[in-house]
Amino acid sequence: MKDVVALGELLIDFAPVSTDESGYPTLKAQPGGAPGNFLAALTKYGCSTALLGKVGEDAFGNLLVNTLDTLGISTKGIVKDPSVFTTLAFVTLDATGNREFSFARKPGADTCLRPEELDLSLLDDCKVFHFGTLSLTGEPARSATRAAVAYAKEHGKLISFDPNLRKPLWPNDEAAREQIEWGLHQSDIVKISDEEIEFLWGISPEEGAQKLLKEYGVRLVYATLGPKGCHVANANGCCEVPSPTGIHVIDTTGAGDIFGGSAMSQFLRLNKAPETLTVEELRAVTRFACCAASLSTQTHGGITSVVPEDQVRAIL
């Protein structure tokens, strides 16, 4: 029995940790991928989790599977394919710790996941199925994602979605918009950033959250605002939660995913339907997630930068 099963990319982020005397970056290989970051936060905060995905049968693939095993995320649903390479992403950070991605070796293993390779039995006993859009950027992973979403919906699972827009991975903006729109229409719980709302509709996060509730049938929306925190909304109301102050940001990689996983862990503890949370409960869940996400920016990496719950509680 798993609380949350996610489907999607598992990859190695090469992130700059220093520069040499000529100004060239020294890169550190770090396990990454949005669903893994999301599940790492959930697992750290007491939930049982599993990932559906694909890596190459190579050193990086083994490293990723071992990392998830060590964190306690079930790897039963991860396919190792000798015919593809584990996906590699190269990260550059600006002076404020904000990151840009470029991807090598296209297509990476993550987009080569086929529908018939999915272990859908993992979804039978879970409460929530989570996905993003990297697995929607191309076939066969797009069909695999759609098959998993359909199966989860047929079996009455809550559907959670984080668009996680990475523009360089799409042929054009229209293709990205079309797939994100599809994902939003499937979902009960959405974590979306202010930049993604701007990209989709050119409106504010508050307007975006209301649009998702009223026009897309979403039941709980987190519209994250980067360093400013998050606007959260459901049918009972909405509120804005600021991020904690005094955070020394080094690397924001994975902050949004860690926000999403942390929020989901607190939501599941309430054991309520998403639309029934009171505004006070929305605020408490979101405060925890903002603190956990902000604290994760104080170290490099995503999956490995989730801090223990007592550190989050200490700054709440």
Interface residue list for ligand ATP (CB under 6 A): 164, 193, 224-227, 229-230, 243, 247, 249, 252, 254-257, 259, 290, 293-294, 297
Q: How far is the CB of 290 from ligand ATP (least distance, A)?
A: 4
Q: How far is the CB of 199 from ligand ATP (least distance, A)?
A: 11
What is the 3-state composition of the chain as percent helix, strand, coil, each rounded to the nearest 5?
45, 25, 35
Q: How far is the CB of 70 from ligand ATP (least distance, A)?
A: 22
Tokens of 143: 């069909």
Local structure of 107: helix, strand or coil: coil
Local structure of 222: helix, strand or coil: strand
In angstroms, rounded to a whole number, what is the distance separating the alpha carbons of residues 24 and 119? Answer: 43
Q: How far is the CB of 316 from ligand ATP (least distance, A)?
A: 13
The residues that bridge with 234 in the sheet, in sequence order, are 237
Residue nearest ligand ATP, Cβ-based: 256
Q: How far is the CB of 103 from ligand ATP (least distance, A)?
A: 15
Q: Pairing between strand 189-193 and 220-224?
A: parallel
Q: Which is nearer to ligand ATP, 225 or 284 (CB)?
A: 225
Q: Which is nearer to ligand ATP, 85 or 170 (CB)?
A: 170
Q: Which is nearer to ligand ATP, 48 or 160 (CB)?
A: 160
Q: How far is the CB of 273 from ligand ATP (least distance, A)?
A: 24
Q: Give which of 40, 30, 170, 17 is closest to 88, Cα–Cα.
A: 30
Q: Give which of 285, 278, 281, 289 is closest to 312, Cα–Cα.
A: 289
Q: Give which of 261, 267, 304, 290 is closest to 41, Cα–Cα.
A: 261
Sheet holding 4-7, edge to edge: 78-81, 49-56, 4-7, 128-131, 158-161, 189-193, 220-224, 230-234, 237-241
Q: How far is the CB of 287 from ligand ATP (least distance, A)?
A: 10
Q: Which is nearer to ligand ATP, 55 or 255 (CB)?
A: 255
In angstroms, rounded to a whole number, what is the distance separating the alpha carbons of residues 188 and 139? Answer: 25
Q: Which is nearer to ligand ATP, 59 or 203 (CB)?
A: 203
What's the DSSP call for residue 224?
A: E
Q: Which is nearer to ligand ATP, 34 or 73 (CB)?
A: 34
Q: Which is nearer to ligand ATP, 110 or 257 (CB)?
A: 257
Q: Which is nearer to ligand ATP, 81 or 194 (CB)?
A: 194
In angstroms, rounded to a whole number, what is the distance separating the alpha carbons of residues 170 and 137? Answer: 6
Q: How far is the CB of 147 from ligand ATP (least distance, A)?
A: 26
Q: Residue type at 119?
A: D
